[in-house]
Amino acid sequence: MRRPAPFIPMGARDGQYRARWLAPLSVMVGSMVTILPFVATFAWLPPFGLIMLLAWRLHRADTLKVWAAVPLGLFDDMFSGQPMGNAMMLWTLCFIMIDVIDTRLVWRDFWHDWLIAAGGIAFCLIAGRLIATDIGAHVETTLLVQILVSTALFPVATRFCAWLDRDFRRS
């Protein structure tokens, strides 16, 4: 039988500092997935760095500050092939959007998180397409497939973040 979590007064730290370095590290590893040699006829590979960033932000809001999207976006820009500053700007806008939604919602559950993440993923992919490719390029079908695959993988990333954030204390 699990013991309840200990009471931590408001403003005090809980002593778990692992998530402070593990969250940015897992986002950076997710961004580096794009350097693996996958052979595909169209771009179906989801932006794992963005998915991990949104999963950490929606799972535990205290692990990543709003400004953390800028250096993590710069790191993703170096590996993704997008124009420099693309992920920095779009990821920061997603964080601001999530903060605005957090102030408006009274409570959130998993379905809300999934819908928020789907909106953030779709926004980043569509805006990245508008910034990086020519308007005449016909990539709407592959973009839709990439959005659907990324949205479908968000619960897996959330479970992975929860697994990384687990408590190692023994009862």
More confident residue, 146 or 137: 146
Query: Taking 90 as the threshold, does the pLDDT of residue 60 lie above it?
Result: no
**Nearest C-alpha neighbor of 45 from the set 163, 130, 125, 162:** 125
Tell me what pLDDT residue 154 has.
Answer: 96
Tell me what pLDDT residue 6 has.
Answer: 64
Tell me what pLDDT residue 17 has.
Answer: 66
Span 61-109, pLDDT tens digits: 888 888 999 999 999 999 888 889 999 999 999 999 999 998 888 888 8
**What separation in angstroms does the CA of 71 have from each of 86, 101, 117?**
12, 23, 20
The average pLDDT across 19-43 equals 85
Q: What's the sign of the alpha-carbon dihedral 129, 155, 117, 11? A: negative
Instruction: Say how many CA atoms lie within 13 Å of 158 toward its Cβ.
Output: 21
Cβ(80)–Cβ(73) below 8 Å: no
Rounded CA-CA distance 48/64 in Å is 17
Tell me what pLDDT residue 16 has.
Answer: 59
Query: Taking 70 as the threshold, does the pLDDT of residue 145 lie above it?
Result: yes
Reported confidence tier of residue 171, pLDDT bands at 50, 70, 90: very low
Span 8-26, pLDDT tens digits: 666 666 555 666 788 899 9
Rounded CA-CA distance 85/76 in Å is 9
Q: What's the sign of the alpha-carbon dihedral 27, 82, 89, 124? A: negative
For the chain, the residue count is 171
Span 114-143, pLDDT tens digits: 999 999 999 999 998 888 877 777 778 888
Cβ neighbours, 10 Å, residue 87: 29
The average pLDDT across 47-64 equals 91
Tell me what pLDDT residue 169 has.
Answer: 46
Which amino acid belongs to residue 129?
A: R
